[in-house]
Structure 1
Amino acid sequence: MAYSDFSLEKVKKNFGLTICDRIDMFSEVAEVECSALLAENLRENVTLALASNTEKSRSEMIITPILIEVRKQLKYQIGLFSGIDFNVDPERGLNGSCDFLISHSSELLLVSAPIIIIVEAKKENINAGLGQCVAEMLAAQIFNEREGNEIPAIYGTVTTGTIWKFLKLQEQIIDIDLGEYYLNDVKKIVGILANSIRN
């Protein structure tokens, strides 16, 4: 078993989680003024990515520039990992690679303090990616506990690049924002990601 094998129902049952649906969970988070470079990248890339309509094109042309912008907003004090193996507890299925992982540490060679998990929605199905995202968030929580990192909450998002859904894991409770954020709200998306790291 691996992260991608988990449905939301399976991860809830296997790990005894409580799932709470939330409305406007991040409504109080302020938008962040983004750089001209991000605006230009998205203006140039989004049409091309959507025309190609592959997970790879969306990942490279939409998601990655947004995550690089978050890193820039936080003055490069975070680590950003793409496609990294994150084998935390293979016996319980918490193994495999993460599409993207943001660490609370600026260290770039090794993951040392994971705080945000980003899962690319397969076949543009956001809800189908929730189980995988929660499994990876649980792995991040276990990793931090083992390493003695005092990180009380792990955040996650499932995205198509143009649509973003956010989650939060604290202890055994998963909060899932029922709302979705769209690419024309990129300032809000960057704001939520940056705020999740600052808290």
Structure 2
Amino acid sequence: MFETFKNRLEITGTLTTVTALRISKGRSTEPIGSDLPVIKDALGRPLIPGSSFKGALRSRLESFLRGILGSDRKMVANPAIEDEWSITSREMKIIKENFKDDKALTAEILKHTDLISHLFGSPWLASKFQVRDLTVQPDAWFGQYQERDGVAIDRDTETAADGKLYDFQVVPAGTPFDFKAVVENAEEWELGLLAIGLHQFETEQIPLGGGRSRGLGVVKLEIDKMHWVDIRDDKDPNNTDPSKLLGYMKNLVNNNLCCVVPDNYQKQWAESFINHYEVSMGFSNYKNIGEVLKKFQVTYTEANFVKETEFSITDYFREDLEFMMREAVVDNSEFAVCENLIYPVIKEVWKCYHSKFILWSHKSLTCYQYMSGFSEYILAKRSPLGKVVFDKPYLLLVEAKEDNFHEGWVQCLVEMITAQRINHELNVTILGIVTNGTTWQFGKLEGKTFAKQINRYMIQDLDQLFAAVNYVFQECESQLDTSVVA
């Protein structure tokens, strides 16, 4: 995955100890001196590792999100326990096996990555946020370490355990450290998440180091400057503006710092995070399809609206599918189901309609006023500007689920409503498919009415399944031909 430079935020300030600070480097083996000295730089001055600051910040943000989202690892991961990562090593292996294309692989990884890891990184995703080691300000340091006594308590006798007296070293209160952090290629919502976390340090809410139950480690961050450069295109934020990048490089050569962040930017970023949360996580707040219908005032009906339209399946396709289902493991995960069962069927029919449509894989739809969706596959109009342009109308959304069809339809219907809002001036019916690869269910959203197909289709009855999928594509084609598209 190759990165393109888009923006950079540089934050500088001072972190001051409000109470004594103890960041230990471990038990000393020296015959004299403190049993537990603090970590120091090469000159013997105290040092706060950037990883300690970053870890405490990450932990606090994770605790906030758990209070909102619960302990679902897909929403808020636990970096200390692999089974609680949003993508485990085993799941990552499956993803890499099923997504060979770099762009598709990246999209799939981002789709399954929890919010915090987008900014702070994970074993499968590089961090966008770096914190330099915090060094003490030289003019304020004269070697004034403090020594304190400690004792281990015997829990049975509730007295000092024999031979367990020790001393530990601390950095005194009022000691200032230089703070510098850099964020590159961050989305606005990620900067908002960071701003919320840094505010906790600004208000003395996040302690550092050990001995916090004794009152140690209270610190206060004072941000001095925030330098911001954004070279994204004003009209298309997904692309960069070469003239802005050249200007930035010229300023660097001339040792001219980039612009200082206006005060309203931090508020704007924080609001962007809240919007992103509400949009990207909105469907998870619905327990069932009834709540979605009530929220958007959509009427639910059931009918057999699919008019099966014959489709000629090649012998090669039949033989290849039969071989895969007989010899391969095709349904051990959503990734495997998409790669081995869903995409081959959808692609085979799409090839007959490719002149009018593009079949997009793992593409998001976002309408901030309403909701957001991230479908496995979206059928959209082929843009006159070229195949790389994601153009409306968006007519078909395909959602893959491992047997939980109720959850699948909750997500699919939200995505269908999102597509409907984006298409707004185009009076088109949105079609949806929810499948686990073996069983296929169909639905359509027409105005304020959602109809779910009563009959289900099975991949074992390939001719009937292809006839149903072909009908859906024909409906999309008919709408595209009759609608007035700008």
Q: In structure 2, how many angstroms separate the alpha carbons of the residues matched to 1:128 and 1:57?
A: 19
The structural deviation recorded for 1:189 is 3.3
Matched, 1:86 2:365: yes
TM-score, scaled to structure 2: 0.37
Greater mean alpha carbon deviation, residues 56-65 or residues 181-190: 181-190
Matched, 1:155 2:431: yes
The structural deviation recorded for 1:56 is 0.8
Matches within 5 A, 1:134-173: 134-145=413-424, 148=425, 150-173=426-449
Q: In structure 1, how many angstroms separate the alpha carbons of the residues matched to 2:355 and 2:439?
A: 25
Q: In structure 1, how many angstroms separate the alpha carbons of the residues matched to 2:348 and 2:289?
A: 30
Paired position in structure 2 for 1:11: 292
The structural deviation recorded for 1:32 is 1.1
TM-score, scaled to structure 1: 0.85
Matched, 1:178 2:454: yes
RMSD: 2.0
Paired position in structure 1 for 2:410: 131
The structural deviation recorded for 1:37 is 4.0
AA matched with 1:20? T
Q: In structure 2, how many angstroms separate the alpha carbons of the residues matched to 1:179 and 1:197?
A: 20
Q: 1:87 to 1:49 in 2, by over 3 A?
A: farther
Q: Secondary structure at the match of 2:389?
A: coil
Q: Which of 1 and 2 has greater Rg?
A: 2
* Structure 1: tracts of 5 or more residues without a match: none
Paired position in structure 1 for 2:302: 21
Paired position in structure 1 for 2:102: none
Contact 2:358/2:381 (CA < 8 Å) preserved in 1? yes
Matched, 1:98 2:375: yes
- Ranked by relative contact order (alpha carbons within 8 Å, sequence separation 6 or more), the top structure is 1
Higher helix share: 1
Paired position in structure 2 for 1:119: 399
Tell me the percent identity: 21
Paired position in structure 2 for 1:189: 468
The structural deviation recorded for 1:71 is 1.4
Paired position in structure 2 for 1:59: 338
The structural deviation recorded for 1:100 is 1.1
Q: In structure 1, how many angstroms separate the alpha carbons of the residues matched to 2:379 and 2:325?
A: 23
Matches within 5 A, 1:28-67: 28-47=307-326, 48-50=328-330, 52-67=331-346
Q: 1:102 to 1:41 in 2, by over 3 A?
A: farther
* Structure 2: tracts of 5 or more residues without a match: 1-277, 479-486
Aligned length: 190
Q: In structure 1, how many angstroms separate the alpha carbons of the residues matched to 2:405 and 2:339?
A: 18
Contact 1:20/1:176 (CA < 8 Å) preserved in 2? yes
